[in-house]
Structure 1
Amino acid sequence: MRTRLKNLSRATRSLSARIAVLMTVAMLPVGLIAVYQTQAVIDSARQQSRTSLMSQIRSEAAAERELIENAVATSNGLAVLIAKLGEGNCDDILRGFVEGNENYIFAGFIRSSGWLACSSTGDTMDLSGRDTVRRALERGGSSVQLVQEGAITGRSIVIVTQPVRNDDEIIGFVSLSIPHATVLRKLEDPDSESGLRIAAIDIEGDLIAASLGMEAAENFLPRDIALSDLVQSRNTTFRGPSGTGEDRYFAVTPMIEGKVMLVGSWPLSSVPGTDTQLQTWIAIALPVLMWIAGVGVALFGIQQLVIRHVAKLRSAMRRFALGERAETSLDLKDPPAELEEAQRAFNRMALLITDGELRREQDLKDKEVLLREVHHRVKNNLQLIASIMNMQARELETDEAKHVVAELQRRVRGMAVLHRTLYNTPTSTTVDAAALVRAVVRDVQDLVGVRLAPQIDTDLKEIALYPDQAIPLSLFVAETLYNTITQACSDIPCDRIGVELSIGSNDDVCLNIDSPPVDDEQSMPDECLDGMGRKMITAFLLQLGGAMETSTEGGRYITSVRFPRATYGA
């Protein structure tokens, strides 16, 4: 999980991610403007489409609208005439009107009490119990209603009513009856190519007329919206299922304001741009596509102009840092001027560093060869001195003189062994102290011979010391071991001797030599040293900058030396 978060963090901080963010911020105002303008164009197209559809409805229903508008205007004129002339000549006026106009089959004046006072047929009767009369009185103005069976005519009619006023008081209303068949005939042949179907409803949501007949109206009118609710949705368009379950496009517009509404119904294939959701997605998709194209071009440009060159530069720098010098020259293909300058700078830097490393490596080799040669010559000279001393010892007569020369020869041989080890050391800077001590132990064992040589157990940690400390440490071990062996094992083989080398606290070097007692008087090992040995031990400790302690533990003697390890030189 942590690795994934780390990779995600690196991805978000990459140049590509930052360029994408900057491009997004830069293109956001343009995108918002594009969304706004696209939506405005879509809204304008919708408004134009809505206006066009409503105009088409009104155009297709023009004949019916003219018929009903004439009826409303005529009823208004008759209402004024009856209000002025009274009921005396009412029958004759209404009869003459109906006989002179074939669109009407009945005309009458109904008092506010519901009594038919006069009519084109001369009939009078009480109509107060009929719903048509009740609704006309409740509306208080002109209205258009469908009546399945007229009280006088007994036919299906469309009634147009107009109130009759006397000094702003409604004293009744004029009622004109139009055969329903005449109204339907006006809507029989809408635009068949577009699949348009039209229905006319009154202000209460009752159906007055419909294309292809009243029975077919249910098939193309909205299924989930009541006609009474459509009256409130004037000048609107919407999409929804029809009575047959087919998705259709609907428009509602007034045919006669406040009296009759028209409902148009089209199949979706006949109305372009009805998929509002698709249009919304298009309005959003265009800016998104612009953003994708812009970011894509920017990222492609960054990849081609910057990232691929930086990746090659990074790879070359990594190989150079890891020490690969076989092919250090960087060759970028068609880089920008800035990166071309970086390429030249890298190649110059790599060339200078490589040349410097070669010169330094050659200098180190020369110095190493010289130093190894110095150790080799010193070793040879010391061995030569030991040989001369050996030749001189043969001519000596006294044992004391021979002992002195032998001691000097032993110490010279020990120093030759150290220089031989230094000569074979792979590095010329530091020396493994453990390797030097092992060489000293072997040399001491060889020197004292098989008869006196005890078992020497070593526990030596690899410690890198500079020669200025490694040589005194080795000489100290040689001097101490030799004197301990010659004193403790002079007559009979003695118990084992332990040599331990380790790192203590504060990076100090610790040397412990564990040896058996020397004699019955339990003398300490350092007490058995001769004068020269004591001086040399003191000189070695001084060179190491350390301190020596001796103690007894379990009948054995412990010689401990502790000194700080030099960090550079001694």
Structure 2
Amino acid sequence: MKQLIERLRQHSETLPFRIAALLALALLPIGLISVTQTVLLIRESDDRTKASLLALTSEAAAGEEAHIRTAFGAALAIRAMLSDGMPSQAECEFRMQRFLKESGSFSFAGYVDGDGIIRCASGGHMRDMSQLTIFPLMKADPVPRVTINRNGPVSGTSVLVMSVPVMDGEKFDGYIAISLPHRTFFGDISDASERSLVNLITFNAQGAVLTNDHGLDEVVNELPVNHDLTEFVAGNEYAFIDVNADGKWRVYSVVPVVPKVVYAMGIWEYESYASLTENIKITNSVLFPVAMWLACLGVAFFAVQRMVIRPTRDLRARMLLFMRARRIFPPRDESKLPIEIREIEETWQLLAESVLQDEAELHNSIHKKAILVKEVHHRVKNNLQLIASILSMKIRKSRSIEVRHSLQEVQRRVMSIARVHQKLYETSTEERVRADELLRTIISQIKSSALPNEADVRYSDEFESIVLYPDQAVPLSLAASEMLTNALKYMGKPSDGQAWLSVRLVPEGKDRVLFEVANSIGEKVDLDVAITETGLGDKLIAAFVQQMEGEVETVTEDSVYRIRIHFPIIEFTEAA
């Protein structure tokens, strides 16, 4: 998880990521506006589609609505007629039959009293209707109703019964019933079928289906599975999508025929009005703007990648090649680069050419300086050797042993300085010298001159690579010469073994160096070294060590004498 977070953090700092984030933020308002407008358009389209479906449903149910409203109107007229007084049975039957004949649509009209007995009707006088389902419903809740009777007790046919209550003040005094045969509703719906209408049903406030274009026996298969018909009672016009009992998706539209009494439901093909689904609304309103937003983001990012990021990476790669190989490579597809990038390329090439020119001049200057420095070291070395040769001539002519020894010490010290300049002349680092090589040469020359018979003295050394500037190399070589000379002067043979001499030059920590000369003490060894007790050597060693900013240490243990120099490695600026 930490690695993933770290990788994401690193990616977030890249130019492509930041440009993509800025582009996404810049295009986000356009995407939101597009989503909002699309949602509004989809809603408006859905509203128009719903209104169209509801209008088509009302149009398709116009016939049923006309028959049902006519029946209710007739029932109200009969109730008004009976309010003036109950006519005789013969006159009542005559009026009812004349009404049925003139209307041409109804199969029964009559008045059922509060006890469920038909008192005035087109037929079936004095028939007891109290056992029918409609009577207790009307008595318990006297409101206009429409019910279905598959076998009418008077007409003997399947009918719709429109019932209107008759009240005596607050008392239920019966109801007027008008029967309308089902065959009246089963007409041709070919026009509606052309508009993808699958079926048209009507239902009452109790959710019972009253009419169906394809027959009452088939209506169950077309009703919505997830909605009950009573949900739409006392509501406004409504359109929705659901699946029927056969598993087919349908679009349903419900309109009131007689509010709170009868409703019509149109059942339509789903494919023609699929845009009403909530899922499709969300898809249409979100996916298209999001796709457009992503497309704009992709195009903008591709353009930035092509015109900015790729040339920038190419420039960085050529800078790295220039840094490593000092070669200038031309950009790829320079003609396709934007003018701003081309200007950066031109500036970079001018800068690189200027750096190459300056480096060439600097190298030339350094080369000349190195030649001059080497020439100086060479001349100084030659001059010191000349001085050493003059001293050698003086030594040979001198008859005093003390003068000869003094001149030999001076000659030895002059040659030590000459060897430093020789090493500076020969070394490839020019301004620095390998202290281990320098000391090895000096000690080898002193040892060979002082120990003609090396078998009498056991010698060992340890030199590690140490690089010093001349300001430390010269005093170190002089101090080493004095230390080695002193060691040879006072070397002795211990009682239990051979005389020995040891020299070490090793690092001491990170920026410090240890130089040590150790020798055995005991019986005097006969060496070709003049012994003078002037004490000048110790003074010179102390002076040289002070010049190196170091410390000198002497240790005497049993038959061993050690002298050590501890000093830091001084950089050129510090030494200057």
Q: CA deviation at 1:72?
A: 1.1
The question of whether the paired residues in 2 share the 8 Å contact of 1:103 and 1:182 is answered with: yes
Is structure 2 residue 504 aligned with structure 1 residue 500? Answer: yes
The question of whether the paired residues in 2 share the 8 Å contact of 1:452 and 1:489 is answered with: no
Query: How far apart, CA to CA, are the structure 2 residues paired with 1:318 and 1:82?
Result: 111
- The equivalences for 1:13-412 within 5 A come to 13-88=13-88, 89-121=91-123, 123-166=125-168, 170-183=172-185, 185-186=186-187, 191-193=192-194, 194-231=196-233, 234-320=236-322, 322-327=323-328, 332-412=334-414
Q: CA deviation at 1:490?
A: 9.4
Q: CA deviation at 1:159?
A: 0.5
Paired AA for residue 134 in structure 1: P
Per the alignment, do residues 315 and 520 of structure 1 end up closer, same or farther by CA in structure 2, a change over 3 Å counting? Answer: same
Question: Which residue, out of 564, 567, 572, partners 1:563?
Answer: 567
The question of whether the paired residues in 2 share the 8 Å contact of 1:483 and 1:529 is answered with: no
Query: How far apart, CA to CA, are the structure 2 residues paired with 1:151 and 1:144?
Result: 16
Q: CA deviation at 1:476?
A: 0.8
Superposed CA offset, 1:412-446 (max 9, x none): 33333322222222112332322322222222232
- The equivalences for 1:449-468 within 5 A come to 449-452=451-454, 454-468=457-471
Q: CA deviation at 1:403?
A: 3.2
Report what 1:537 is aligned to: 541
Paired AA for residue 497 in structure 1: L
Superposed CA offset, 1:352-374 (max 9, x none): 33222222211211121222222
The question of whether the paired residues in 2 share the 8 Å contact of 1:83 and 1:164 is answered with: no
Q: CA deviation at 1:467?
A: 0.5
Report what 1:512 is aligned to: 516
3-state secondary structure, aligned to 2:193: coil
Paired AA for residue 487 in structure 2: T
Paired AA for residue 468 in structure 2: L
The question of whether the paired residues in 1 share the 8 Å contact of 2:233 and 2:260 is answered with: no
Superposed CA offset, 1:44-89 (max 9, x none): 1111111211222222222222111111111111111111233444
Paired AA for residue 549 in structure 1: E
Q: Percent identity?
A: 28
For structure 1, list consecutive stretches of 5 or more residues without a partner in the other structure.
none
Per the alignment, do residues 144 and 491 of structure 1 end up closer, same or farther by CA in structure 2, a change over 3 Å counting? Answer: closer
Q: CA deviation at 1:160?
A: 0.8
Q: CA deviation at 1:170?
A: 4.5
Query: How far apart, CA to CA, are the structure 2 residues paired with 1:473 and 1:330?
Result: 55
Query: How far apart, CA to CA, are the structure 2 residues paired with 1:245 and 1:233?
Result: 27
Please say which of residues 284-293 and 188-197 is displaced more in the overlay: 188-197
Q: CA deviation at 1:469?
A: 0.9
Q: CA deviation at 1:554?
A: 4.9
Question: Which residue, out of 553, 556, 576, partners 1:549?
Answer: 553
Paired AA for residue 356 in structure 2: T
The question of whether the paired residues in 1 share the 8 Å contact of 2:20 and 2:297 is answered with: yes
Question: Which residue, out of 482, 486, 501, partners 2:485?
Answer: 482
Query: How far apart, CA to CA, are the structure 1 residues paired with 2:395 and 2:502?
Result: 33
Query: How far apart, CA to CA, are the structure 2 residues paired with 1:138 and 1:49?
Result: 41
Query: How far apart, CA to CA, are the structure 2 residues paired with 1:314 and 1:362?
Result: 29
Aligned residues between the structures: 564
Superposed CA offset, 1:119-173 (max 9, x none): 1115113322321112233442221110122233333221111123455755321
Query: How far apart, CA to CA, are the structure 1 residues paired with 2:130 and 2:416?
Result: 147
Paired AA for residue 471 in structure 1: V
Paired AA for residue 383 in structure 2: N
3-state secondary structure, aligned to 1:352: helix
Question: Which residue, out of 427, 447, 450, partners 1:448?
Answer: 450
The question of whether the paired residues in 2 share the 8 Å contact of 1:190 and 1:211 is answered with: no
Q: CA deviation at 1:190?
A: 6.5
3-state secondary structure, aligned to 1:273: helix
Superposed CA offset, 1:278-320 (max 9, x none): 3311211222122123222322332233223322333343344
The question of whether the paired residues in 2 share the 8 Å contact of 1:460 and 1:501 is answered with: yes
Question: Which residue, out of 431, 434, 437, partners 1:432?
Answer: 434
The question of whether the paired residues in 2 share the 8 Å contact of 1:393 and 1:402 is answered with: yes
3-state secondary structure, aligned to 1:438: helix
Query: How far apart, CA to CA, are the structure 1 residues paired with 2:331 and 2:203?
Result: 85
Per the alignment, do residues 431 and 44 of structure 1 end up closer, same or farther by CA in structure 2, a change over 3 Å counting? Answer: same
3-state secondary structure, aligned to 2:55: helix
Per the alignment, do residues 105 and 543 of structure 1 end up closer, same or farther by CA in structure 2, a change over 3 Å counting? Answer: closer
Q: CA deviation at 1:481?
A: 1.0
Query: How far apart, CA to CA, are the structure 2 residues paired with 1:456 and 1:119?
Result: 152
Per the alignment, do residues 542 and 340 of structure 1 end up closer, same or farther by CA in structure 2, a change over 3 Å counting? Answer: same
The question of whether the paired residues in 1 share the 8 Å contact of 2:167 and 2:174 is answered with: yes
Paired AA for residue 475 in structure 1: L
Q: CA deviation at 1:2?
A: 5.7
Please say which of residues 124-133 and 66-75 is displaced more in the overlay: 124-133
For structure 2, list consecutive stretches of 5 or more residues without a partner in the other structure.
none
Paired AA for residue 152 in structure 2: G
Query: How far apart, CA to CA, are the structure 2 residues paired with 1:350 and 1:329?
Result: 12
Paired AA for residue 423 in structure 1: Y
Per the alignment, do residues 551 and 181 of structure 1 end up closer, same or farther by CA in structure 2, a change over 3 Å counting? Answer: same
Query: How far apart, CA to CA, are the structure 2 residues paired with 1:214 and 1:435?
Result: 120
Paired AA for residue 553 in structure 2: E
Question: Which residue, out of 471, 474, 481, partners 1:471?
Answer: 474
Paired AA for residue 56 in structure 1: L
Query: How far apart, CA to CA, are the structure 2 residues paired with 1:529 and 1:160?
Result: 152
Per the alignment, do residues 192 and 4 of structure 1 end up closer, same or farther by CA in structure 2, a change over 3 Å counting? Answer: closer
The question of whether the paired residues in 2 share the 8 Å contact of 1:64 and 1:186 is answered with: no
- CA-atom RMSD in angstroms: 3.1
Per the alignment, do residues 199 and 503 of structure 1 end up closer, same or farther by CA in structure 2, a change over 3 Å counting? Answer: same
3-state secondary structure, aligned to 1:208: strand
Query: How far apart, CA to CA, are the structure 2 residues paired with 1:426 and 1:294?
Result: 63
Query: How far apart, CA to CA, are the structure 2 residues paired with 1:475 and 1:466?
Result: 14
Q: CA deviation at 1:180?
A: 2.4
Per the alignment, do residues 44 and 68 of structure 1 end up closer, same or farther by CA in structure 2, a change over 3 Å counting? Answer: same
The question of whether the paired residues in 1 share the 8 Å contact of 2:328 and 2:349 is answered with: no
Q: CA deviation at 1:15?
A: 2.5
Per the alignment, do residues 330 and 123 of structure 1 end up closer, same or farther by CA in structure 2, a change over 3 Å counting? Answer: closer
Per the alignment, do residues 367 and 189 of structure 1 end up closer, same or farther by CA in structure 2, a change over 3 Å counting? Answer: closer
Paired AA for residue 408 in structure 2: A
Paired AA for residue 45 in structure 1: S
Paired AA for residue 252 in structure 2: F
Query: How far apart, CA to CA, are the structure 2 residues paired with 1:368 and 1:494?
Result: 48
TM-score by length of 2: 0.88
